[in-house]
Amino acid sequence: MAKNDEFNQKILREMQSNARLSNLELADRVGLSPSACLRRVQELERDGVIVGYRARLDRAKLGIGFTAYMTVGLNNHTKSSQEAFERAISRSPEVIECHNVTGTVEYLLRVEATDLAAYKIFHTEVLGTLPQVNSITSYVVMGSPKDMRA
């Protein structure tokens, strides 16, 4: 199992900022030899700490101009109701993240759409038609001064 020491934390921090760093540059930034750094990165991958690499996209250049977080409450608190909701959400390309949460609602969604009109269609014609949905609350993102997601 990978060590959770200062070097691994530095490696992970640097890789979260830029996973395309060469091993030489990464090693230099974290203060290790290239071979030691490579061994640590491979160990982090092997142990499942690093589960993949992603490209960060400029949403505006892709025509995505609207982001909202939504809370969704279900009308039935059964396993089958949750599974049906999760299946429906997995088919919705507008839903970028879906989290089952504790509290007064069951789900927190991150939704992206081209604009408010497209979001309204998703809200009304997709989410609003699911028989499991009891309540929907939207939180429109006006800006993201810190966003560490890859």
Question: Three-state SS for 146?
Answer: coil
Residue with tokens 């109701």, as numbered in its chain? 81
Q: What is the pLDDT of residue 24?
A: 98
Q: Is 33 exposed, middle or buried (0-12, 13-18, 19+ CB in 10 A)?
A: exposed
Residue with tokens 């025509």, as numbered in its chain? 63
CA distance 104 to 90: 22
Domain count, the chain: 2
Residue with tokens 């890789």, as numbered in its chain? 15
Q: What are phi and psi of 90, to 5 degrees?
A: -65, -20
Q: What is the pLDDT of residue 78?
A: 93
Q: What is the pLDDT of residue 56?
A: 85
In a domain, 54, yes or no: no
Sign of CA dihedral 98, 102, 105, 106: positive
Q: What is the pLDDT of residue 123?
A: 98
Question: Which mean pLDDT values do the consecutive 10-residue runs of the chain (150 residues) have?
Answer: 89 93 97 97 96 89 96 95 97 97 97 97 97 98 86
81 and 25 fall within a common domain: no
pTM of the model: 0.81
Q: What is the pLDDT of residue 147?
A: 85
79 and 26 fall within a common domain: no
Tokens of 132: 């499991």
Q: What is the pLDDT of residue 20?
A: 94
78 and 126 fall within a common domain: yes
CA distance 63 to 81: 33
In a domain, 114, yes or no: yes
123 and 83 fall within a common domain: yes
Q: What is the pLDDT of residue 12?
A: 96
In a domain, 98, yes or no: yes
Domain span holding position 105 = 60-140
